[in-house]
């Protein structure tokens, strides 16, 4: 699952665990900790996603639910304050707009 938050991008998968945990991955330092404060993050420079943490599935679900509860913006793109993140998200937005096609 890819999660685009206005201050973090996460990839969350069930990989190599026992089913009670999920592997939360990020491309930018600090993204995992913004959503899961206090989490110990492993840095893996040779992996596709450089930053990783194995977290309890329920903790992940609760944190994502809290992110939904905290939405106050009327426009997601406008809520992204980091310019490099905004630009990357706009690239994804444009690709998905093209994917949508013209119905």
- Residue 17 confidence (pLDDT): 78
pLDDT in tens, 28-66: 999 999 999 999 999 999 999 999 999 999 999 999 999
Count CA atoms closer than 13 A to 25's CA, side-chain side.
Answer: 15
pTM beyond cutoff 0.85: yes
At residue 103, the pLDDT reads 59
| Tens-place pLDDT, residues 3-34 | 999 999 999 999 987 899 999 999 999 999 99
Calculate the alpha carbon distances from 67 to 6, 7, 38, 82 in Å.
10, 11, 17, 18
Q: Six-digit token pair at 99? A: 């994917």
SS3 assignment for the chain: CEEEECCEEEEEECCCCCCCEEEEEECCCCHHHHHCCCCCCEECCCCCCCEEEEEEHHHHHHHHHHHHHCCCCCCHHHHCCCHHHHHHHHHHHHHHHHHHCCC
Domain ranges of the chain: 2-71
């Amino acid at each position: 699952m890819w999660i685009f938050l206005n201050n973090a991008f996460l990839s969350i998968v069930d990989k190599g665990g026992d089913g009670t945990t999920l592997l939360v991955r990020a491309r930018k330092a600090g993204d995992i900790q913004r959503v899961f404060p206090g989490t110990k993050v492993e840095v893996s420079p040779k992996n596709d996603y450089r930053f990783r943490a194995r977290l309890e599935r329920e903790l992940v679900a609760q944190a994502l639910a809290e992110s939904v509860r905290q939405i106050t913006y009327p426009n997601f793109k406008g809520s992204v304050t980091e310019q490099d993140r905004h630009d990357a998200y706009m690239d994804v937005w444009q690709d998905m707009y093209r994917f949508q096609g013209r119905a």
